[in-house]
Structure 1
Amino acid sequence: MEQTVVDTVEQVSAHTDLTGIALVVVAALLCGLGMERLKQPAILGYMVAGVLLGPSALAVVNDLAQINILAELGVLMLLFVIGMELSLRIFKRIWKLAAAVAGLQITASMLMFWLLSFVFEWPLEMAVLMGFVVAMSSTAVAIKILQDAGELKTRGGRIAVGVLIAQDMAVVPMMLTVGVMGRGGFDWMTAVSLTGAVALLVGLVWYLSRGRTLNLPLPKLVGTKREELGPLMAIAFCFSAAAVSGLLGLSAAYGAFVAGLVIGNSNLKETIFAEVKPIQSILMMVFFLSIGLLIDLQYVWDNLGAVLAILFMVTVFKTMLNVGVIRMLGQPWHIAVMSGIVLAQIGEFSFLLAGVAVTSGVIPPETSRLVIAVTVMSLLMSPLWTLTARRLHGMATNGADTVGDIWTIAWGKETEMAVRGFTVASDQTASLYRRLVEAKEHVKTKRALKKLPKPDSKPDPKDEP
């Protein structure tokens, strides 16, 4: 009898969890559509949905175990698709500039946090990790901003995309480095493993960037009429490479990324990409949902000063660093400013680095919550920061002598819209208030009339003598 009760409770609990997950997915769709209507990347909507329905807000989903498993698969698919989508031929044209910018970004970020480690008494591993986290930019958000601004195919846009590609390729060695740091340092075996993995990646990129197409011996299997085998084979490419990488003592993400590079430069690219893209979109939605679910609003509120200070410092520092590095490498000011501002946010790979760091013991979960909070806020405010920074850059041309001029250039349109909206809302509120007062007076009048004594009724003529 007791066992039956326990089984029933477990079934009800599982049903409740699945219902919560279904509600979160629907909310993610609605928030993603809302962000697209606002001309923002849908991934921001996914994170917002996760924050609103997560344990720290409405608590629709409390058990994150089921979603975390799908999110980890989403990470592998993300790296697999990014490997397929990397345009090595375009990267080859500006690889020296892009690699130099990315390298200087990473070096300067690590140097800054190494200096801060003396102030906050951080260990060296923490400084290295934070340098990696801050150096990464969001490929999805940056490209969306470039598309909306019409700058994607300009010189500045191509530089920004080239730097993003360089960062995407650097994330795998970063993850390997963080994992090695968690093992207590660099011994001979881990050093050889890391060096071999990086050498293989560099050699593969160099070979594939020569423009040769790999002929993989699977076209007949891909072209089979059994439609269910196509997506399964696409997933098998990704997960089998990830499994081999894990068995060799490397990161599973490394194997997925290398597999994506190989497929992306082979005769199977179009077929595999068409099969895997819908699956990747769903798993990526789950990944960014899980990030939103991990946000602890109470933690953010309790540490709001520290979160905002780090966010401001990182955003301003990264913008100045990007602009300075690109300008130092010989690019005109307008190109340096545009490219530098677009790359100012912290990227989604920072979540992966923080996760690897927690798993390997480099940082405690408490620090991971801080990294996640700052990264999510950086992604959410990135479009506004880009718009503001570009307008402030226009002051050099238009001129600004007073604080009022600066405010007008930076947020004049938004301020005017806000004032208009406030005026309309005030008028509607005042009109509603007048109607309520009139209705209240009308009710009082009716009640007063009811309390008055009724006039005497006229006598019936038949009753008169």
Structure 2
Amino acid sequence: MHHGIIEDILVFLAVAVVISPLCQRLRVSPVLGYLVAGSVVGPVGLGLIADNDGTRGLAELGIVFLLFMIGLELSWERLKVIRHYIFGLGSAQVMLTGLAATLALTLVGTDFRPALVIGFALAFSSTAFVLQILSDQGSMNSQGGRVAVAVLILQDLAVVPLLVLIPLLATSHDFLSGAAALGLSVGKAAIAMTLIFAAARLALRPLFQAVASTHSPEVFVAAALLAVIGTSFATEAAGLSHSLGAFLAGVLLASTEFRHQVEADLQPIRGLLMGLFFLTVGMVVDPHQVLARLPEMATMVGALLAGKALILTGLALAFRFPLATALNLGLLLAQGGEFAFVVLAKAGQVGLTNAATVEIITAVVAISMALTPILAAIGDWVIRRHRRQQGAAHVPDEDAKDLKDHVVLVGCGRSGQIVATILAEKSIPFVALDRDPHMVELLRAKGQPVYFGDVRKVDVLKAVGAARARLVVMTINSGSGREKLVPRLKRAFPDLRLLVRARDRRQARVLEALGAHVVVPEILEGSLHLAGHALTTVGVPPADVHDLIESYRKNDYARLALTHEVE
């Protein structure tokens, strides 16, 4: 049956329309839904979608956009904070897992060269699956989430030398000459990446400033697509991973004022392309082959998951992470990854591995990826159980020690929870403190980084990284408590910005005199909002209402003719 790209896209869109609502109703991950759907509608199933270059090219764009979105979440400053996890834990994981898998394959009779390539291909985890799950759990900014991202970044970087090594292993029988060629190729790749990074750093901000000045949404989206696909093309032309280029573009844009608009514009495109990627992964799994070789396939999948989970857990413990965090990390990254498909395809093209081996290993990786939601759910249960056991005695420094430029939220009442929700939705890292142990337990059970602590003690603030924080948002309701805390914070952390909630204008003036940078008097702000709605309801244009309210704020509320100070 002949397939055109238009027919394939139509089938995919129909699958997306059905799968997403169905998975939401069944409360299962859409990733799993797309995998099953791929097996059903692909060549081994109903044959509604062809496994061709056009379909796979579109699916690879999903990985490109995914890496770009990762970069947007990881500014250059944040990358510097987690660099010891990237190059320490990440490097150790790839080397130990790759060598262990290579040894296991050689013991069962595989030649060393193909065993080396397959072993290191199995060391990669699924960036797409893990980030989707972390996003669904709201755990991207948790300690485990940040460490998982760090390991995934190193894995993505490790794809480059492995892809360079494959043709050398297939053609060179002299180890020394092969190693020299590999070193030369890696050196050229490093130079090319440095040049691309420098050029993009110089060009991206001026490009977006010029485009933003046109006030044209479609041109802004076009510029965002150009940044993603252009840097991907540049790195691919230099012999590097196209996903690495997209990641670099995201990192560079993360430090600009255009980050959030770019993220909002590209999110729907990224979601659809990622769905297509998961669909194509499901297409490589032949249910008949899996059933025919069920014991062998189950053994291989089990060995992969158990081996990677044990290595990751052991390494995390060696890096002094708590046992619960180490287990969660091991389970979360135990599966095979999408880059294994790229590596295996390359090995097959150069004749390093035969087609049957590539098909079997590909199926093993795909099945392990399909099991990721279950493993992640177990890991999440371990973390939640650990938090319930620790309760109010949990040490905040465990999750805050590698945070920088984050927000410290003091108080988790209604106002504090609203602020926390908005910060989480915008993926802004924060740590919250509250003196109510019951409130702390409830919010931690929901996965929020909330800790029991008395902010009057400087050691507690140090434990949540106040010295490295960008600002403190104080939402506590105690008036006198705020007036005592502001000068104490100013003395302990003179460079820290303080945003404080006040009851009225009288208290706001006191807090400003004590050193608070921004004070919001809640009664006056609430009254302004009510007045604004009243004016809009009686027919005053919304723009005039906005300008009027802003004029009151800019003039420090002086235009408000108060008979007496608000109490």
CA positional deviation for 1:310:
0.8
CA positional deviation for 1:70:
1.9
Partner residue, 1:194? 186
Q: 2 CA distance for matches of 1:144 and 1:337? A: 19
- 1:374 pairs, out of 359, 364, 376, with 364
Letter in 2 for 1:31: I
Q: 2 CA distance for matches of 1:138 and 1:107? A: 17
1:215–1:122 CA distance, 2 compared to 1 (3 A): same
Partner residue, 2:69? 81
Contact 2:32–2:373 (Cα < 8 Å) also in 1: no
SS in 2 for 1:317: helix
- For residues 148-174 of structure 1, give each alpha carbon's deviation from its aligned partner in whole angstroms, at most 9, with x where no partner exists: 667554433433333333334434444
1:159–1:16 CA distance, 2 compared to 1 (3 A): closer
Letter in 2 for 1:23: V
1:87–1:32 CA distance, 2 compared to 1 (3 A): farther
Letter in 1 for 2:187: T
Q: 2 CA distance for matches of 1:355 and 1:68? A: 12
Matched, 1:48 2:39: no
1:345–1:227 CA distance, 2 compared to 1 (3 A): same
Unaligned runs of 5+ in 1: 1-12, 398-465
Partner residue, 1:435? none
1:88–1:19 CA distance, 2 compared to 1 (3 A): same
Contact 2:38–2:279 (Cα < 8 Å) also in 1: yes
SS in 1 for 2:46: coil
1:16–1:205 CA distance, 2 compared to 1 (3 A): closer
> Structure with the greater relative contact order (CA < 8 A, sep ≥ 6): 1 or 2?
1
- For residues 226-266 of structure 1, give each alpha carbon's deviation from its aligned partner in whole angstroms, at most 9, with x where no partner exists: 44433333332333333333444444444444334333444
Matched, 1:340 2:337: no
CA positional deviation for 1:289:
1.6
Partner residue, 1:104? 92
Q: 1 CA distance for matches of 2:76 and 2:267? A: 20
Letter in 2 for 1:282: L
Q: Name the TM-score, length of structure 1 as normaliser.
A: 0.69
Q: Name the TM-score, length of structure 2 as normaliser.
A: 0.58
Partner residue, 2:275? 285
Matched, 1:116 2:108: no
1:44–1:177 CA distance, 2 compared to 1 (3 A): farther
1:94–1:56 CA distance, 2 compared to 1 (3 A): same
Q: 2 CA distance for matches of 1:391 and 1:273? A: 30
Moved more, 173-182 or 114-123: 173-182
1:89–1:355 CA distance, 2 compared to 1 (3 A): farther
Partner residue, 1:130? 118
Greater percentage in strand = 2
Partner residue, 1:245? 235
Greater percentage in helix = 1
Letter in 1 for 2:297: V
- 1:69 pairs, out of 42, 57, 81, with 57
Q: 2 CA distance for matches of 1:61 and 1:178? A: 30
Q: 2 CA distance for matches of 1:253 and 1:360? A: 22
Contact 1:341–1:389 (Cα < 8 Å) also in 2: yes
- For residues 21-78 of structure 1, give each alpha carbon's deviation from its aligned partner in whole angstroms, at most 9, with x where no partner exists: 4234312332233334444442322222111111212222345343123223334333
Q: 2 CA distance for matches of 1:122 and 1:368? A: 13
Identical positions, percent: 27
1:166–1:364 CA distance, 2 compared to 1 (3 A): same
Contact 2:125–2:333 (Cα < 8 Å) also in 1: yes
Q: 2 CA distance for matches of 1:355 and 1:69? A: 14
Q: 2 CA distance for matches of 1:364 and 1:222? A: 51
- 2:249 pairs, out of 259, 267, 270, with 259
For the aligned residues, what is the CA RMSD? Answer: 3.9
Q: 1 CA distance for matches of 2:210 and 2:351? A: 46
Partner residue, 1:425? none
Q: 1 CA distance for matches of 2:210 and 2:225? A: 17
Q: 1 CA distance for matches of 2:38 and 2:95? A: 33
Matched, 1:353 2:353: no
Contact 1:40–1:144 (Cα < 8 Å) also in 2: no
- For residues 424-444 of structure 1, give each alpha carbon's deviation from its aligned partner in whole angstroms, at most 9, with x where no partner exists: xxxxxxxxxxxxxxxxxxxxx
